[in-house]
Amino acid sequence: MQRTVVTATADKHGVTGRRGFLRQMFTAGVATTAAVSWRDMLMARTADMAKSGKKMILLWMDGGPSQFETFNPKIGSKFQGPAKAIKTNVPGVEIAEYWPETAKVMDKIALVRSMKSEERDHFRAIKLVRTGYPIKPTINYPTWGSVVARDRWDPGFDLPAFVRVGTPRIKTRDVNAGVLGARYESFKIPSAGKLPENVSPVVDPQVLERRLALAAKMDQQFAASGSEKAAREQREIYERTSRFVLSPLIKTFDLSQEPEKMREAYGATTFGQSCLLARRLIETGVSFVEVINGGDGNDQGWDTHKRGFKENPELAAQTDTGYAALLTDLANRGLLEDTLVVWMGEFCRTPKFDADGGRDHYSEGWIVGFSGGGVKMGQVIGATDDEGVKVTDRPVGVQDLFVTFCHILGLDPHEEYITDQDQPLKLVEGGELIKELV
């Protein structure tokens, strides 16, 4: 019997479009259904698609970091405060003195210093910056990690496609999978090195399998009563969870598997160890990792309304080493080229500050750092005026940010998908590519 090889054409990023792949599978598969089933062909290709797709790490600075005390100091301005500027390993690019390790790897970062949005309220800004959409009461837009998880979904992979490390400062401001449903929700790790409670099985695998079989029978009865969709989702969660807890890949979450020297390189902070876990997850095959950085001291995170001159150096010290180590480690392992690393928060801080250095919410001139994923690193895009009040060069909007995410990850920003409520929705509405990055 003649054997037909199905090859899907990849784009310049090495990523095969889902629709293009399925179209080619159908064309070739018509003549080969007797030899190879559709499911066999699909499963054979799924692993290759997952390997070729670029991954993403979002380093989320919860609360809105000050641009003056991070990556856009305005030395000589009345608004700068005590933070001095230091040189980086990119000629002409300076950042705040609190980031000495990051300064050494600026050649691995492209800074966008000209982000603009209209939202200066935490809740509304977080929703906008994490989904690409402003708040709309009738639609619960999904966080970006869930969008990537949907595209990179691999039913044969033991670990979740989307993992979050850390917890948001304020739960009511959180963003979840929304209209994409439970399948693409993040797997939440409260802190690096420790799995959530009740993840490790407390009974023998054989006992667990019997219990799951019993649960499946109960789900069938539930589905027969008219709740087929809910039963199917519940059954899928059971199957994924059981495969996860019994998989040898669960050791990925165990940081004790790392050499002590490597753990020290990332820094003995919550954020540093979370970055190390992010690298381990990406290396294992997880498609999207979100690291939430709210600081180690209190629940204000980067929302420094008070004592900013004291809090910002402390926050930077907790972040600097881990950020630099992550980029260096990914590069050394050959992972950075296929991993987009993004450093950002929901907005920035006002130029005007209180006596103790506290700054309020501001949304003109906030910063995003891009690394890896094939972007042109070692550059600065956009600028603000000498006082840091207005964007004077290359303003970048939130939708532009998400169009760029799509381009780097090999997604079509204008693709429409069907939500769990049977509603068509585009990945991004509007926006333009940040061409300087690519």
Closest CA to 363 of 59, 98, 61, 66: 66
Instruction: Count up the domains in the chain and report the number.
Output: 3
One domain for residues 36 and 168: no
One domain for residues 229 and 365: no
One domain for residues 131 and 241: no
One domain for residues 3 and 146: no
One domain for residues 115 and 142: yes
One domain for residues 83 and 159: yes
- The predicted pLDDT at position 235 comes to 66
Output DSSP code: residue 334.
T
Q: What is the pLDDT of residues 268-321, one digit of tens each?
A: 999 999 999 999 999 999 999 999 999 987 778 999 999 999 999 999 999 999
CATH number assigned to the domain comprising residue 100? 3.40.720.10
One domain for residues 220 and 353: no
Closest CA to 303 of 70, 81, 61: 61
Of 186, 212, 245, which residue constitutes the final position of a domain? 245
Cα-based torsion angle of the residue sequence 93, 99, 101, 106 in order, rounded to the nearest 10 degrees: -30
- Domain with 277, as residue range(s), is 54-197+250-437
Of 245, 273, 304, which residue constitutes the final position of a domain? 245
pTM of the model: 0.84
One domain for residues 31 and 98: no
One domain for residues 16 and 60: no
Of 11, 26, 52, which residue constitutes the final position of a domain? 52
One domain for residues 362 and 269: yes
* Residue 322 CB neighbours (<10 A): 27
Q: What is the pLDDT of residues 403-427, one digit of tens each?
A: 999 999 999 999 998 887 788 999 9
What lies within 8 Å, CB to CB, of 149 at 6+ separation is 160, 161, 162, 184, 186, 287, 288
**Low pLDDT (below 50) residues in the chain:** 1-51
One domain for residues 346 and 426: yes
One domain for residues 207 and 185: no
How far apart CA 44 and CA 41 sit, in angstroms, is 5
